């Protein structure tokens, strides 16, 4: 069981790209300022995917140009290909996050390529980013279930993970894209992966769709994982389940970790205040439990 | 890790007593019919606490008189004292549930007596119920935290548990009344209790207030616990945190258990349909994740 945990905040990217409200650039900049001020050391700021596909994050360059960068905080961005990397480098990102899926159908729908054909697209991105001295993280989507295929073969997760690591990425983030994972599955996947992959290179990324995210994090902790993705206010949703919850909420994860005596270096109350502020920005109540308690008390 | 789990449905009692909407008797009867039809074997139907204190359940006798009893299903009720037991016996309950708190202040606020003075009230209730051949369950509230005292001493939990077992109760239900528990705490409490109390006499009762209930259940399973309380639709709330979530939702618990290959004998889709039906009865969306996904899909 790790004594301390790194939270990687994905709200501004994975959260906002799935919100129906389009958030103005200046509010995104303010969101990043607030998150930077909370003690978080890793913030995924935006995405350099073609704005045609994700209009909500079309202002990625502007956001990077306008944010105030705090010492010791890594401001990363999602990058799909060399074209996106160029824009990301121009925007002076601190770290690059690439992505693909463990299931063939989701990879095709999301990236418009087979899994096999995706590697040659990502490989030069990793190489160039590493040449620029930037850390690279690889998201593997649909690790615990696929909206098109259902169950995902662990062999496919292993294959994609290995190939990404061979390219030179520094960290894998195993994503439960549709929020279907259960804790026994988390234990099983981690045990299989860590026979060949160092535990410290693995992060876990859970969505709250079916309410199992916190249990999955607890299972991950018990398997020695110490890096978890989360989004302030539980931002985002699930494109395959309209109305469902989004990412696991940063403030809820902090509650559980801190109360178990696990350090994060993040100020729970600042994240909670940011969640409250976000409600005015996105025009709806956020889905976190901490915020529901806070709303009731005020 | 248990291969099968018993879910004890507490929605009609612990759920409805904390809902702002007062549910008509006929809807309660229909709720019990639906739950009985789902495969649940234990349903807490109502409470024989003085109706002055819990007006929402003042119709306990009528509900018991009107429900159709399904073979193999135990229809239980909450009973505070001998007066309540008399009403419960007249109503022909199948099982009796008594209650008290592990923390002094909560016990005083809730029962208007010290912990020590509560034992002589409950002892004759257990004795009479057992004499009638009825199983008796003892709820221990505030096991993982108290709204007035904060942290609760494990010694107090042990003391109350032992005294209740000495009276002759068949099962303890350890309650996280305000939903503050974290999984490491569940492991710790169960490990301490089971040095002296048989594991199979322990049930766990979690509330979703801070989003940790599912993680706590996973921790309980890992400590060999196989009886869990839950409420359809996550009914109820928290009197100490207005607007917060209520009991952990039966359908969400079923989702996690079934997907992990743990049997319950309960039909997930019937519970989910009941949650959907309940929304019309209580006039608000229920808080379960399963139902949120279902709403989005329809």
The structure tokens listed for A221 are: 């902790």
For residue A252, the Cα-to-chain-centroid distance in whole angstroms is 16
Is residue B79 predicted with pLDDT exceeding 90?
A: yes
Residue from A24, A45, A41 nearest A93 by CA: A45
Predicted TM-score (pTM) of this structure = 0.97
The structure tokens listed for A268 are: 């729970």
Give the domain extent around B140.
Answer: 6-297
The structure tokens listed for B72 are: 């193999």
The CATH number of residue B40's host domain is: 3.20.20.70
- Residue B159 within any structural domain of the chain: yes
Residue A82 in 3-state DSSP?
helix
Eight-state DSSP code of residue A44:
E
- Residue B77 within any structural domain of the chain: yes
Number of domains observed in the structure of chain A: 1
Is residue B244 predicted with pLDDT exceeding 90?
A: no
Size of interface A-B (CB pairs under 8 A): 113
- Residue B105 within any structural domain of the chain: yes
- Residue A151 within any structural domain of the chain: yes
For B88: left if phi > 0, alpha if psi spans -120 to 50, otherwise beta; the answer is alpha
Bridge partners of A170? none
- What mean pLDDT, rounded, does chain A reach? 96
- Residue B267 within any structural domain of the chain: yes
Is residue B238 predicted with pLDDT exceeding 90?
A: no
Is residue B5 predicted with pLDDT exceeding 90?
A: yes
Residues in chain B with CB shorter than 8 Å from the CB of A218 are 183, 215, 218-219
Confidence band, pLDDT 50/70/90 cuts, at residue B240: confident
pLDDT digit string, tens, across residues B163-208: 999 999 999 999 999 999 999 999 999 999 999 999 999 999 999 9
**Using CB atoms and an 8 Å cut-off, which of residues 167-226 of chain B contact chain A?**
180, 182-185, 208-212, 214-215, 217-219
Q: What is the pLDDT of residue A243?
A: 78
Share of chain B above pLDDT 70, in %: 100
Q: What is the pLDDT of residue A238?
A: 79
User: With a cut of 0.90, is the ipTM above it?
Assistant: yes
The structure tokens listed for B158 are: 């042990």
pLDDT digit string, tens, across residues B92-128: 999 999 999 999 999 999 999 999 999 999 999 999 9
Do the chains contact at A209 and B183, CB–CB below 8 Å? no
Residue from A29, A14, A38 nearest A61 by CA: A29
Alpha-carbon dihedral sign for residues A274, A17, A217, B206 = positive
Confidence band, pLDDT 50/70/90 cuts, at residue B243: confident
Averaged pLDDT for residues A84-94: 98
- Residue B257 within any structural domain of the chain: yes
Confidence band, pLDDT 50/70/90 cuts, at residue B298: confident
Q: Does A133 touch chain B (CB under 8 A)?
A: no
Share of chain A above pLDDT 90, in %: 94
- Residue B1 within any structural domain of the chain: no
- Residue B43 within any structural domain of the chain: yes
Is residue B241 predicted with pLDDT exceeding 90?
A: no
Please state, in angstroms and rounded to a whole number, the distance separating the CA atoms of residues A35 and A17: 17
Compare A34 and B238 and report the one with higher pLDDT: A34
């Amino acid at each position: 069981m790790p004594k301390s945990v790194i939270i990687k905040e994905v709200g501004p990217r994975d959260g906002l790209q799935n919100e129906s409200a389009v958030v103005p650039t200046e509010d995104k900049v303010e969101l990043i300022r607030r998150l930077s001020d909370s003690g978080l050391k890793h913030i995924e700021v935006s995405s350099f995917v073609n704005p045609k596909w994700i209009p909500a994050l079309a202002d990625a360059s502007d956001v990077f140009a306008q944010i105030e960068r705090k010492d010791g905080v890594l401001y990363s961005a999602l990058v799909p290909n060399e074209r996106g990397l160029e824009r990301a480098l121009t925007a002076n990102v601190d770290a690059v996050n690439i992505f693909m899926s463990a299931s063939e159908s989701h990879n095709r729908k999301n990236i418009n390529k087979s899994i096999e054909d995706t590697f040659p697209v990502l490989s030069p991105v990793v190489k160039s980013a590493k040449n620029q001295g930037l850390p690279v993280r690889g998201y593997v989507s649909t690790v615990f279930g696929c909206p098109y295929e259902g169950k995902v073969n662990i062999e496919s997760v292993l294959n994609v993970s290995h190939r990404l690591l061979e390219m030179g990425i520094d960290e894998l983030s195993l994503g439960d894209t549709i929020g279907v994972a259960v804790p026994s599955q988390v234990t099983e996947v981690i045990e299989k992966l860590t026979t060949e992959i160092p535990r410290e290179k693995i992060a876990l990324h859970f969505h709250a769709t079916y309410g199992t995210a916190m249990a999955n994090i607890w299972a991950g902790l018990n398997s020695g994982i110490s890096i978890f993705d989360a989004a302030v206010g539980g931002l985002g949703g699930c494109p395959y389940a309209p109305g469902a919850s989004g990412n696991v909420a940063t403030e809820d994860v902090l509650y559980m970790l801190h109360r178990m005596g696990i350090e994060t270096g993040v100020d729970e109350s600042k994240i909670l205040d940011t969640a409250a502020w976000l409600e005015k920005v996105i025009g709806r109540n956020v889905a976190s439990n901490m915020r529901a308690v806070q709303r009731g008390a005020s």
